[in-house]
Structure formats: C-alpha cells, structure tokens
Amino acid sequence: MAVVEAKDVWKIFEPGHVEAVRGATFNIAPGEIVAIMGPSGSGKTTLLMMLGAMLSPTRGEIRIASQSLGDLQEAGRVALRRRRIGFVFQSFNLFPSLTALENVAVPLRLLGARDHRRRAAEELERVGLAGRLDFLPAKLSGGQQQRVAIARALAHGPAVILADEPTGALDSTNGLAVIRLLSERASEKGAAVIVVTHDERLSAVAHRVLRLEDGCIAAL
Amino acid sequence: MWTIGIRNLLHDKVRLSVTLFGITFAVVLIFVQVGMYLGFMRASSAVIDRGAADIWIVSKNSANFDWSQPFPERYVHIVRSTPGVQRAETLLFAWAFARLPRGGTEQVEIIGYHPSAGKGWGQPWGLVEGEARSVLGGDHVIVDKSSYRRLGELRVGDRLEIMGRSVRIAGLTEGIRPLTTAPYVFASYETAHRIASYVGRENTVFILVQAAPGHDVGEVAARLARKLPHVDVMTAAQCSRRTRWYWTVSTGMGFGFLLTILLGFFVGVTVVGQTIYADAIEHLREYATLKAIGGGTRELLIILWSQAGVAAIVGYAAGTGGAFGIGGLFNRLGLSVVFPPALLVMVAGVTVLMCLGASLLSIRKVLRVDPATVFKA
C-alpha cells in the first residue's frame, strides 16, 4: 500500500500559463527513500509544495496516507501536515530562540503530547545529540543543526518526510552523514522519504530517483 | 507555543525596552491624567459630597458650587415648613480677598457654617488642630494646610486680614483642596457674613435640606421647587453632578484631559504596534516554518498574544509604579491626584486592549504568511 500517491498531477501558474509540473504520476511505499532530481526550474520544489499540502494541483490527485489532498480545506491540510508529514529544510529552519530539545518538541506539542520533552530527548539521543539538548541552534554546527531538524521531522512519527535540499548548506562530509542518518532513522520508523536534491551522491542512498525535466518525470 | 513568543520578545533587548517604554509611558500618562481629573472633580464637589444634606437649594441657574449667588435667607423658613423636610440649614459661600502678612493679596473662598449644626452641614473635615466649634466666639477661621503656599505657613493663633477684617486662625485641616486656586477659609456663619458683607445680612447662598425618614428625596425636592420658583432645588447627587459637569464640559477641562488620555493611548498603540510588527517581520520565516510543520491560527495567535500579554503586564506594572510615584509627588505639591481601585482595573483593561490592538497588524501579517516560503533557501 503506497503512502504517497500522485496521479496525473499538473501545476499551471497563471498568468503566463507556466506549466511547472506536467502529469506527474508515481507511488511511494512506506520506508522507501525517493530522490527527486533535476535542473533548476524543472518543477522539483513545486512538486514538493504540492506533496506538502501547501499548494494545490491544477489537475490530478495527490493522496498522503490514503487522504486525498483535494478533499481537504485549509484546516484539514494544516492537520495533515501536523500529523502525517515531517519536513527537513535546506536552511534547517530551527527556531533560534528555542533549545535543541524545545525545537524537537514543537511538533509533539502541536499534537498535544504530554510527554513531549521525553520523546524529544529520545529522538535527539538517536541522532547523536544527547549532550546538546539545551543548546540553542546558534551554538550548534551546521551538521548538528540539520540533525536537530531531522529529529524534529521524525519526532511525531509521520508517514512521510519531505526534505528540501537537506545537504545544500553542508559540506560533503556532513552532507553525506546527514543523509545517511535521515535514511536510517526513516527506515527504522517506516516513514517514506522524498528528498529534493541536486546532490548526485544521494542517488546511491535512495531506493529510487525521479528525474524531472520541464515539469515532466523523465525517468524513474 | 507561548515559549516561542516570549523568547522572541526577550531576545532583542533594545526592542523590548522600546516596547516597555511605550507601554509604561502610556500607562503613566493615562493614570496621571485620569487621576488628576478625578482629583479635580472630587475637589470641585467635596463640600456637597461630604455633606449630610439630601437636597441643596442654590441660586437660579448657578453653574457650580463655587459660582453660587446669594438669595433671600428667609426661604429657609419656607423650606422648614414644607412637608417631608426634617431639617434645613443655611450655608454661606463668598469670594473674598486676604491681605497676606508678608504683603500681597490672595483670593479666598469663605464658607460660613453653623458650628452647632454638627458634621455634614458645611463644617470642615480633616481637622488636625482645633475643632469645628473653634470658630465660635469671635472672628475665628479654619484654613487648610494646602493653603500654605498661597497664604503662608499659618499656625493656630496667627492673624490674617480678610476683606479688611482681622481674623485669627483657630484650627487647621489637611486634605481640603478646592478646585480653584483660592483656598477655602471656614468661618462661623455670622463671621462669614461680617467678612463678606457684600452678600447682605438678609441673604444666604445655600440651603441644605435633610428629608424626613420615609419621604422620597426626589419628591421632597420637587415639592420645594414648586414652592421656591426663584431658586434651583436639587438632590445632593444632582448638585454634585452639575458642578462636575460644569468643570468637565463648560470649561473644556474634560476635553483637555480626554485628549491627553487618547494621546497616551495612541502613543502606546503606535510604539508597541511598531515594535511588535518589526519583531513579526524579523521572525516571519519562523512563523512560516511553524505553519509548514502544522501550526495553525491558534498557535500563531498564542505566540503573538503571549508577546502582547507579557508586554502589557510588565508595562502596566512599571507604569502603575511610576504613576503612583508621580501621583504622590503631585499630592505633596498640592495637586489632588486620585487612583481609586476601579481606575487600576480600568487602566489594566486599557493596557491589554492597547497591546492587543497593537498586535493586530502583526497578526494579519503572520496569518497571511505562506508556509511554502520555507522552501526558498
């Protein structure tokens, strides 16, 4: 059973009638790691926004954990992101005024988890940051910050992780370490991972690569 | 979620200081202005409000306590013979000039009462030396310590010349401040007549009436008004209101206070609004991230309102402290500033309203932020 289903998904931006995504169709199974690759402007980020319920397709259907995004109003999309999706961003996007522990606890608190501190601490231990729980992001290295972001994305047990250029702000050593960590942790939790990247090394870690060219999936 | 809001608020110390300064400034301004206004109003009608009379009879169309004119004293007999009246006493009020021992002249307001009438019939209150009956037996007067700045530091036994008559200080009060700049000088009814002879021995200025038990004050007042068409008959509350209304509206004093209060409010809203908005803009990416990971309107409002709430609480506390300090100073300088408990609650409400109002623009901005912007590095 696929956790992500995209069926003939189109995104056309008006005015100018720009076809950013054209007829994308694919399924992703739980635990699968899929890399979306392609040149700039090929529609990778637009596709990621649609998978993240932040942008509606012009045509076609996207289902996340059996839930059709087209059936959801804004509040339903927010709830879906809160429960079913984890995000990892290129610039980490941690809350600078919160400690590593508090950052990881945010999605758990959004879900009303009473044991958010304990679960956040466990998640940070699993990404090797047990000794950095009370550190503010500014006191952590780029690699450590991205580990916190991975812990945050996985803490609430989402069905899908959407990662936008997760190694883009890291050197090659840290980048590889981070992507290995992401794939390991996602496999352990059975979450599907969709990574938008330019980094060809990721294709070695991914189970599958979707290559986008001018909005079309050119190769699977 | 409020942790994010408060941490962000505390993060930029300069911005926090500006925010708190803005709220504190507004709170102090509102407190002191309202406190001064209430102090003035309390002073303007103090003799009426502290009186035991249910009904006040004053000259026709007299605008306020201090502007009342003489009318025939014989009216008191008509009043006393009216059904429903238990007691009626005359009270004299007159403007006069005092020649100061050091030279120069000051205007004073003479209040002539009947010492035997008891408390609440025009006698001075807050006596710190002497007693209400001390004015008997000669040209004796009682003055308030707040008059020192105008009349000099008078002691019991000192003499003062009012309208060419030498009077002796027989008592001192504390806390009786008229609204006007002319201090009250309390004297016996007879002495007051001798000092303010222009009033005319056959005239009085007020008749104070107490309704008999079981009689409706309004009905007694209406009955008296029918019998005395050439004067105004009012309940004590109406008389007090008329005086306060005169000073508030007719003189423009109320408008002046209101303008300053509104100014304080809008300065507060503007300063706080700008700083909170600047903070929201600076952290817009964080708000977008929160929305992306599933934060809804509720969470965003908690963050922004926690900032506004904390700023309001701290600013209110600092402003209240400042206002009480300034109020105390003003009181020592002779200006009556009053902070009743209801004012504390009202200003707290205004402060919260000010801070929430100031955060509206930020709320609009933050709620509209597109979570998809997080994908732009």
- Does B296 contact chain A (CB < 8 Å)? yes
Distances (CA, A) of A89 to A186, A213, B321: 16, 22, 47
Q: Give the residues of chain A that fall short of pLDDT 50.
A: none
Report CB contact under 8 Å: B294, A45: no
Provide the pLDDT for residue B357.
85
pLDDT in tens, B16-57: 888 888 889 889 999 999 999 999 898 889 889 998 899 999
Query: Does the beta carbon of B375 lie under 8 angstroms from any beta carbon of chain A?
Result: yes
Instruction: Name the residue of chain B whose CA is nearest to A106's CA.
Output: B1
Q: pLDDT digits over B144-197, tens only? A: 988 888 888 888 999 889 999 999 999 999 888 888 888 999 999 999 999 999
Instruction: Please give the residue range of the domain that contains residue A200.
Output: 4-219
pLDDT for the residue numbered B276: 83
Question: Hey, of A95, A116, A152, which one would you mutate to test binding to chain B, going by the most B CBs within 10 A of its CB?
Answer: A95
Q: Report pLDDT for B377.
A: 53
**CA-nearest residue of chain B to A164?**
B375
Cβ neighbors of B128 (< 8 A, separation 6 or more) are B145, B172, B173, B174
Mark which residues 297-316 of B lie under 8 Å from A by CB: 299
Q: Which of A48, A85, A97 to mutate to test the interface with B (most CBs of B within 10 A)?
A: A97
Tokens of B78: 């008509």
Q: Which residues of A touch B4 (CB under 8 A)?
A: 95, 97-98
Query: Which positions ≥6 away from B108 have C-beta within 8 Å?
Result: B95, B96, B97, B98, B147, B151, B162, B182, B183, B184, B185
Residues of B in contact with A89 (CB under 8 A): 289, 374-375, 377
The answer to whether B139 touches B166, Cβ cutoff 8 Å, is yes
Measured between beta carbons, which residues in chain A are less than 8 angstroms from residue B371?
54, 81
Contact B289 A168 (CB under 8 A): no
For residues B49-75, give the mean pLDDT: 91
> Dihedral through CA B249, CA B250, CA B251, CA B255, nearest 10?
30
CB contact under 8 A, B289 and A89: yes
Query: Does B370 reach chain A within 8 Å, measured CB to CB?
Result: yes
Question: Does the distance separating the beta carbons of A98 and B294 come in below 8 Å?
Answer: no
Cβ-based contacts of A49 with chain B (< 8 Å): 372, 375
Could A48 and B291 be called an inter-chain contact, meaning their C-beta atoms sit closer than 8 Å?
Answer: no
For the cut 80, the answer to whether the pLDDT of residue B114 exceeds it is yes
* Closest residue to B294, CB basis, from A48, A93, A110: A110
CA-nearest of A197, A198, A129, A185 to A153 is A185
pLDDT > 70: percent of chain B: 99
Mean pLDDT for chain B? Answer: 90
CB contact under 8 Å between A87 and B370, yes or no, is no
Confidence of residue B376 (pLDDT cuts 50, 70, 90): low
Q: B295 to chain A: which residues are within 8 Å by CB?
A: 78, 82, 110
Write out pLDDT tens, residues B323-339: 999 999 988 887 888 89
Residue for token pair 């954990």: A65
B294 contacts on A by Cβ (under 8 Å): 78-79, 81-83, 85, 107, 110-111
Average pLDDT over residues B300-324: 91
**Where does the pLDDT of residue B142 fall: very low under 50, low under 70, confident under 90, or very high at 90 and above?**
very high
Exposed/middle/buried for B295, CB within 10 Å: 0-12, 13-18, 19+? buried
A91:B11 CB<8 A:
no
CATH number for the domain including A29? 3.40.50.300
Question: Is the Cβ pair B294, A75 closer than 8 Å?
Answer: no
Least CA distance to B289: which residue of chain A?
A93
Q: Exposure of B23 by Cβ count < 10 A (0-12 exposed, 13-18 middle, 19+ buried)?
A: buried
Domain count, chain A: 1
Task: Pick the residue from chain B with its C-alpha nearest to A103.
Answer: B4
Q: What is the complex's ipTM, to 2 decimals?
A: 0.91
Q: How confident is the model at residue A187, as a pLDDT?
A: 82
pLDDT of B237 strictly over 70: yes
| Contact residues on chain A for B377, CB-CB shorter than 8 A | 89-91, 165, 168-169
How many helices and strands (H and E) does chain A possess? 7, 10
Q: Is the pLDDT of residue B342 over 90?
A: yes
Phi, psi of B347 (to 5 degrees): -70, -35
From chain B, the residues in CB contact with A107 under 8 A are 293-294
Closest Cβ opposite residue B286 in set A45, A95, A110: A95
Kindly determine whether residue B293 and residue A106, on different chains, have CB atoms separated by under 8 Å. Answer: yes
DSSP label at B65?
A: G
